[in-house]
Structure 1
Amino acid sequence: MDIRYRLKIMLFMQYFIWGCWLVTLGAYMMRTLNFSGAEVGIVYSSKGIAAILMPGIIGIIADKYIPANRLYMICHLVCAGTLFYAATVTDPTVMFLVMMINAMAFMPTIALSNSISYSSLSQYQLDSVTNFPPVRVYGTVGFIIAMWLISLLKFELSSNQLYIAGGCSLLLAVYSLTLPHIPVVKKAITSGLGSKLGLDALVLFKQPIMVVFFLFSLMLGAVLQITNTFGSPFLHDFARNPEYQDSLIVQYPSLLLSISQMAEVCFILAIPFVLKRYGIKTVMLLSMLAWTLRFGFFALGDPSAIGLLFLILSMIVYGCAFDFFNISGSIFIEKTVDTRMRASAQGLFMTMVNGVGAYFGAILSGRVVDYFSIDGVKDWPTIWLVFAAYTAVLSVIFYFTFHYHHKEEAPAC
């Protein structure tokens, strides 16, 4: 079988697992388990804490000691066990601890799936900029199908979403045994102590442009965590209004949210052209502006005819907001760093986005939501406008501080 098809299956299941619970777990915890906004934020912060610690460590191990495809299998076995257990938890503290263990296993698999993909494409002499986005898009397809499945089965407010995710984790662990062997690096980049400890990727911080890149990766990671945590609870809250109780948005909010992932498909496929033509700076600026529109449209949206239009527009711009930063950033790292630190550099990028950024995003956004809540009723328009202002300011600062000079390349056919 063509290596690209094998990678598509891997990425489909990788993101199917996440799609089963990432955007719906918050609503399950808030409306079924009666967790507060702060408690939901703390549970989601487990993903950030784990991503600070684990991707870099796992990346180092994958680069130097254990093949990435074997580590990938081990991580997904742990994910399966913790998701099955999380489905039985009703206490916020216990939920935090269980999801922390899950995140410590799952977050490294995102970077590992990228490393496995890049290494496999390289083994078959396939250009990563041209071939990775069409492969990665199947991860988005998996995410969409998972969201539709959970919504149509009425599992958005049920623990069944965690059981399905756990079952897929177990299946992916078995499938990973069929993936190409990813050799470890036998020769270090340097002979110093840092290299012996597996800290080769930290040399990237000696380059000012990479320092700025990783700093803004952190701040955009916070933005991504906000929409993952509170997008679904926001739509479920329209049920408080009797006028909207029977609307499709309230009944099947994940179907609306899945438009975001559908939009991703188009934007992912545009990445090879846009990245080669305009460069990483323009692509990341477009991402930040799209985040501003995402939150601004949320502030204007509701289940009415006009409000629904704004919600749909918010879903569409999400595709640009997420992919033009997350996937383009991963490709930028792949094309910039030495291949001998591929996994650890991808792990460092993941740490900034889904680690430090996600942690602060979860904690601070939870406090913002509670601050603009009175007797449990949330002022969602104000909440979303606060987040929109944040990303707008971020884009201005980025424009003046990221000094990257792009040399235009001809798009590959």
Structure 2
Amino acid sequence: MAAMTGPPGSTISGATRLKLSTMMFLQFFVWGAWFVTMGTFLGEELEASGSQISLAYLTQSLGAIAAPFFIGLIADQFFSAQKVLGILHLAGAALLFLASTMSTFGAFFPVILVYMILYMPTLALVNSVSFRQMASPEKQFPAVRVLGTIGWIVAGVIIGWLAWEQEAQLSQTYRMAAVASLILGVFSFFLPATPPTHRGEKTSIRDILGLEAIGLLKNRSYLVFFLSSIAICIPLAFYYNFTNLFLNEEGVKSAAAVQSLGQVSEVLFLLLMPFLLMRIGVKLTLAVGMAAWAIRYVFFAFGDAGSLFWMLLVGIVLHGICYDFFFVAGQIYTDKFAGERFRSAAQGLITLATYGVGILIGSLAAGPIVDNFATDDGHDWTQIWIIPAVIAGVVMILFLILFKDRRVDHVTMLDAASTTLEAPGIAVPREQRPRSGTP
């Protein structure tokens, strides 16, 4: 079928599709190359405490909070998205290489903090560059975005193949990410032109943070969902911050590669989610996602690298249900609940609450808990994992009792599922504006 490039409304060409897919692959390869194993790197090579590891991971939350300001006040107003993307990744490459040379947590932390403040806005920028080239993002974007998930998986497989975890060479992950970031930084200047969409417009802090949607919280059920989204991010922080360190202490070989099964399951379970929404509705779909969090941590608590290794594998594969059935389904619910007027603002608000406030609280809580169960030869992981399992279970029970919204029926939820786009840690509606959408 013939294709051509051009403004929105035209058909995306094969060359443009290849550029966007390459951009997505590198974008998430860069992140996956170091983020998964940072806890092990800090704990084993920099001798950081659990609290310090959590402090390093909460830079993601600080970056998520800063990202809407960056996009709304800079990229939307003054400069083309692909140029801002290139500059941020070039600066990020230098910071990642600098991080690889640090030998103490005190020196490492400010570098990774600045890096995450620069990196998190690029997640919105790659979406913006992609959407502006597509006539039908809901149909064309998934095939491009899936390369990002593949990039994350490939990064984990490379780390496992080169045995950097077993040989205490995780500083190499930052150098690998730096090279990929450098390549993406240069490549970004050859991406399709994406000029600012709101040049000359006045943008308020209320617009940037999506606070115009705050009135949605007057509805009791949506308030329950909103607070549950924040609360479930507390156990989520345990997974992000400490799973790789846990697997390595348990003696799992190529732990980063094994963890990539979680991203594979994201793709597979995403295909099942629309059918689940149609059959059981949003309330039970969200509850299934929460239940999966509790179950996975129970499996982590009692599994091991020996005869019970299957429990660890199931816990990792459950990531697809944990993420897709709660976070993606939640974004779909928000999309339909908010309606046309507040759709983008509501997505920005829920993202700020979860990846900003929720994971921030979770990271601050997880570190001291892990430190409390430190032992002479590692940690008492059984006691550690039981805590987020209980938290997730309590959140699920309260949600089932208090959430009673029946206004969004199965048919409209299924329709929303067909127009909502997924990314690891991020779900993006097709109408999303970069300044008020997810980072």
TM-score range for the pair, normalised by the shorter chain length: 0.7 to 0.9
1:268 aligned partner: 270
**1:160 corresponds to 2:169:** no
Q: Secondary structure at the match of 2:101?
A: coil
Q: Secondary structure at the match of 2:102?
A: coil
1:380 aligned partner: 381
1:381 Cα deviation after fit: 1.0
| Distance in 2 between residues matched to 1:388 and 1:333, nearest whole Å | 26
Contact between 1:66 and 1:184, CA under 8 Å: does it hold in 2?
Answer: no
Contact between 2:209 and 2:349, CA under 8 Å: does it hold in 1?
Answer: no
Query: Identity of paired residues, percent?
Result: 31
1:236 aligned partner: 248
| Distance in 1 between residues matched to 2:80 and 2:178, nearest whole Å | 24
Q: Which moved more, 1:30-39 or 1:211-220?
A: 211-220
1:254 Cα deviation after fit: 1.7
1:109 aligned partner: 122
**1:169 corresponds to 2:152:** no
1:75 aligned partner: 88
Contact between 2:213 and 2:342, CA under 8 Å: does it hold in 1?
Answer: no
The correspondence for 2:136, drawn from 125, 132, 136, is: 125
Contact between 1:111 and 1:346, CA under 8 Å: does it hold in 2?
Answer: no
| Distance in 1 between residues matched to 2:126 and 2:273, nearest whole Å | 19
1:364 aligned partner: 365
Q: Which runs of 5+ in 2 are unaligned?
A: 1-12, 420-439
Contact between 2:159 and 2:257, CA under 8 Å: does it hold in 1?
Answer: no
Contact between 1:287 and 1:325, CA under 8 Å: does it hold in 2?
Answer: yes
1:222 aligned partner: 234
2:436 aligned partner: none
Q: Label 1:401 to 1:175 Cα distance change in 2 as closer, same or farther (>3 A).
A: farther
**1:23 corresponds to 2:36:** yes
Contact between 1:134 and 1:268, CA under 8 Å: does it hold in 2?
Answer: no
| Distance in 1 between residues matched to 2:378 and 2:371, nearest whole Å | 9
Superposed CA offset, 1:252-301 (max 9, x none): 11222121122112023334554566655444322211111211111121
Q: Label 1:108 to 1:37 Cα distance change in 2 as closer, same or farther (>3 A).
A: same
Contact between 1:133 and 1:272, CA under 8 Å: does it hold in 2?
Answer: no
Contact between 1:133 and 1:271, CA under 8 Å: does it hold in 2?
Answer: no
Q: Label 1:340 to 1:216 Cα distance change in 2 as closer, same or farther (>3 A).
A: closer
Q: Secondary structure at the match of 1:207?
A: helix
Contact between 1:295 and 1:388, CA under 8 Å: does it hold in 2?
Answer: yes
Q: Label 1:332 to 1:376 Cα distance change in 2 as closer, same or farther (>3 A).
A: same
Contact between 2:335 and 2:343, CA under 8 Å: does it hold in 1?
Answer: no
1:103 Cα deviation after fit: 0.8
Structure 1 residue identity aligned to 2:250: F
Q: Which moved more, 1:176-185 or 1:28-37?
A: 176-185
Q: Which moved more, 1:384-393 or 1:356-365?
A: 356-365
Q: Label 1:285 to 1:197 Cα distance change in 2 as closer, same or farther (>3 A).
A: closer
**1:142 corresponds to 2:151:** yes
The correspondence for 1:93, drawn from 106, 112, 132, is: 106
1:296 aligned partner: 298
Q: Which moved more, 1:95-104 or 1:71-80?
A: 71-80
Structure 2 residue identity aligned to 1:167: V
Superposed CA offset, 1:93-131 (max 9, x none): 22111110011011222233344444544xx134x2x55
Structure 1 residue identity aligned to 2:288: L
Alignment of 1:307-318 (within 5 A): 307-318=308-319
Contact between 2:153 and 2:263, CA under 8 Å: does it hold in 1?
Answer: yes
**1:203 corresponds to 2:215:** no
1:325 Cα deviation after fit: 3.3
1:353 aligned partner: 354
Q: Which moved more, 1:84-93 or 1:70-79?
A: 70-79
**Structure with higher helix content:** 1
Alignment of 1:39-54 (within 5 A): 39-52=52-65, 54=66
Structure 1 residue identity aligned to 2:287: L
Contact between 1:297 and 1:314, CA under 8 Å: does it hold in 2?
Answer: yes
Q: TM-score, length-normalised on structure 2?
A: 0.79
The correspondence for 2:256, drawn from 254, 257, 276, is: 254
Q: Secondary structure at the match of 2:304?
A: coil
The correspondence for 1:285, drawn from 265, 276, 287, is: 287
Q: Which moved more, 1:94-103 or 1:6-15?
A: 6-15
**1:57 corresponds to 2:69:** yes
Q: Label 1:94 to 1:234 Cα distance change in 2 as closer, same or farther (>3 A).
A: same
1:394 aligned partner: 395
Q: Which runs of 5+ in 1 are unaligned?
A: 240-248
1:243 aligned partner: none
Structure 2 residue identity aligned to 1:162: Y
Q: Label 1:179 to 1:339 Cα distance change in 2 as closer, same or farther (>3 A).
A: farther
Aligned residues, how many?
392
Q: Secondary structure at the match of 1:304?
A: coil
Q: TM-score, length-normalised on structure 1?
A: 0.84
Superposed CA offset, 1:210-239 (max 9, x none): 554443333333333211111011111124
2:426 aligned partner: none
Structure 2 residue identity aligned to 1:169: S
Q: Secondary structure at the match of 1:185?
A: coil
